[in-house]
Chains A and B, each alone.
Chain A
């Protein structure tokens, strides 16, 4: 449409510019603006008689209203540019000729629709929305949506992985398979089954959130020149993983006998987004090992000068600097001390040092008979005796990343009525809070660790039960519905049988 000058309202109303009053203004005779062409539909009452064209109707209404509905001001970006945008879209081959027919048909329909309430013209509105050129756009949008839907899984995966959005690739799960295997003992069918289940569970979880999964073979091998280091491989394995995933930040060690009960929890949301609140720094808060903090003398002589007297305030502070950024190691504590069945290490210069001093031949030589739990006891030792470790270590309530099954750590003390949320400060915390150790179904604990099941307990049985429980807890709505019906039916049948027998 080319106007030689700006349209101006005439004194008696209406428009002086002829170009605006007819939809067929183009040299091709093609309607430039179908929305206007169907304008009559939008106000079915204004149309009047059958042969009335849009142009005359518009002129009429303009006269009645006294001012033009067409505004020459620039109303905004879209009003200014929409025409240009839509113009750049290609036209369909059969130009205005068919438009005209279509318009007439639709005008007729519009009149019929005009009799009823406003909802009756909904199909007409849809048709309007889907006018030919918009149809094209709609098709594109639809195709785009279809592609999104079709690739929704890879797209969410990519999104969750990317370091910019989800950040999943910043986490590496290290799963120690084959622990103590190899030359020490043979694997039976149950051991294989446990391994298969556990690995499958971690694979699923890692894929769900876009984490890296590193499954490592922990079987005892003659790997070192100094053979005494055997079964201390956790440290080396973490170091190797750090080398293998140079962009990852957090490394999560998991023993094989663990099971992710709630795969819908992401590590970020569960722990890392609010690291200051999900962890605690002060070991005096929960201290099953009775580690003295601030550190005291090592001579055992109560009259000796304080060990503390030479340490800087940051090191002797019970919480370090208390900034979540300074946390480099996250360890859960069970009823007996640190538990390394599930713990986090962050890549940093500090962790390099920790992983470096964790194993030392002089320590080993003096203590390997006492340190039954190898790395775990060694970590407890260096935490107690080397003050530089403390300001960068945080503890996490056992139940949030490493819940034990009933009986693994004394008796399950149960939950207060109404769950942990209803707990008051004066109440006995039972399994709630920092001292809670055992898995609580109603609190939907994240991960269960069947620690120590290889000594006199049934690992496979426990794993099986927890797997079933996890599946049941995480059923979809539809599955719940189906199961509900079948349970109801079974209940009814049982009732009948009881009546019969009774």
Chain B
């Protein structure tokens, strides 16, 4: 029975457009009330008071693309350590990918994630189930049963379901449950041994390139299948102008299509690879500056629905290698908000819109009852100082793995308090 009062906050509910200075009362895990008129006669005497001094209070962030190492590679990240990183980044719900060992393609494994999360995680954790058994791209998983067990969507994670007939059936079958199919869009035969975006820089570095067409072809094919099946389809990360155009066109046709972008692709470009920095080796790869700019615009105008971290912990064994051999992926839970706040400071995107892509948009897409500031809703909240400057130091990161492309970079803004179900789980 705890009561917490946030005083003098800039209250933002991105979904409704609500943006007012006021107070918010949390009672018994729920948002009891909020608004400028609240506490006219003073805050309840039994309430713990948090003076916000005009800082932003919004629904807790939802990150719908997170990899952990549990089960199978706990030395890189556990659900517990990922949840601490999430809390430090203001993230109150993480959606974990099925690319584990074993793969989350069975009801028992969905249960395992739920149980481990309950016992070890300090934020909410939901898994996406595998789209095909063993991520092999051959047989569909039990979408109905997995969904009942708690899988919030279906994806092969870092694999593209390449077989068109199997993808068609998966999309078609998914309509029976109104399930969401999430694709990592790249045509594997065109990616081959590629490690960065094809072009002048890859040529200069002598690295095998990946053509943007590998992503665009994958998306365009899927969109044709969506057209004939009506299945709900989401591209986990779009990264280039051509993909954005394809999505825009599909949305204009009224297809049930959504997509995401990662904080890394919105704030970095291929030049950040510099002299073979493997922390900037991402899948999909970092693109050119014009693609990055297009991505930011598309997030601002709503073509891109959600912003994700793509958090992918890797240890020195997989990253301290020649670029060609190093693993793909970067951690991002703790930088999802700070990195993208730079775009707010540069006035390329408004704060409410940015927050929407990380709160209500992913929550609604996945059918989660979070991401909104509503009376009676779960008190998952993040208090954000959008201005405070700080420098990202590797040893301060909560994640077990330290492969951040923002290592030693200057940041502006971070979560001050993170609350999950009425309980403060992180304070800066």
A binds B: no
Binding site for B on A (CB under 8 A): none
